[in-house]
A and B are shown apart, each in its own frame.
Chain A
Amino acid sequence: GAGVSQSPRYKVAKRGQDVALRCDPISGHVSLFWYQQALGQGPEFLTYFQNEAQLDKSGLPSDRFFAERPEGSVSTLKIQRTQQEDSAVYLCASAPSGGSNLAKNIQYFGAGTRLSVL
């Protein structure tokens, strides 16, 4: 597609339930990022993939959070045993790689998945 696509747009989960959030990046983009945005705040980095390799997962808040990108395109962020503090918007971004300086390697974001844990 033309942009980064995320699904579902909205997810309501009961506390303790597992959830899976999907990100479909811009075709050909090598880099993929996940961010968490709490209400009224700026996004915060969770994890980064280059192709299928997860190169940085320093932002994942706990071992309940797991991300994968097995074929280097679509990525899934999984949250196990959800807690109320997990309620947030989860944003995915993709960026090209190896471009010229003019490419600037801008990160392009999807519309996010709003997760509400009851």
Chain B
Amino acid sequence: AQKITQTQPGMFVQEKEAVTLDCTYDTSDQSYGLFWYKQPSSGEMIFLIYQGSYDEQNATEGRYSLNFQKARKSANLVISASQLGDSAMYFCAMRERAYSSASKIIFGSGTRLSIRP
């Protein structure tokens, strides 16, 4: 069975510093997709970044990058130059079949990130 583990319930970071949010996953599938979503207090789940299991390069989207280490089954999110608006819950998630829209997503328990001014 697939499983996502986020071991940091909460983190505090100074504004403008970089931050790494940890995520490990477990799956026996060869094809899968890894996601990070941001959930501010408004409740909406905002897509941040995606990494397919066959992608050789780490995904990047603006200030977000995904440190994908396949052998270690880890998919850490790195946020560079953090901003006050980055304060939110962050969820790591996984989908079987990297490029299928038909697969449900399994979520971790989340990390609450708080940015200090």
Contacts and interface: CB of A to CB of B under 8 A. Distances in A.
B106 A106 contact: no
A45 B106 contact: yes
A105 B104 contact: no
Contact of B45 (A43, A48, A55): A43
Most chain B CB neighbours (cut-off 10 Å) among A42, A95, A105, A110: A42
Interface in B99-114: 99-102, 104-110
Contact of B91 (A30, A42, A110, A111): A42
B44 A109 contact: yes
Interface in A48-107: 48, 50, 55-56, 59, 89, 91, 93, 95-99, 101, 104-107
Nearest to B47: A106
Contacts of A41: 109-110
A64 B31 CA distance: 34
B42 interface: yes
A110 B104 contact: no
A96 to B, nearest CB: 6
Most chain B CB neighbours (cut-off 10 Å) among A89, A98, A109: A109
Interface of A: 30-31, 33, 35, 41-45, 48, 50, 55-56, 59, 89, 91, 93, 95-99, 101, 104-112, 114
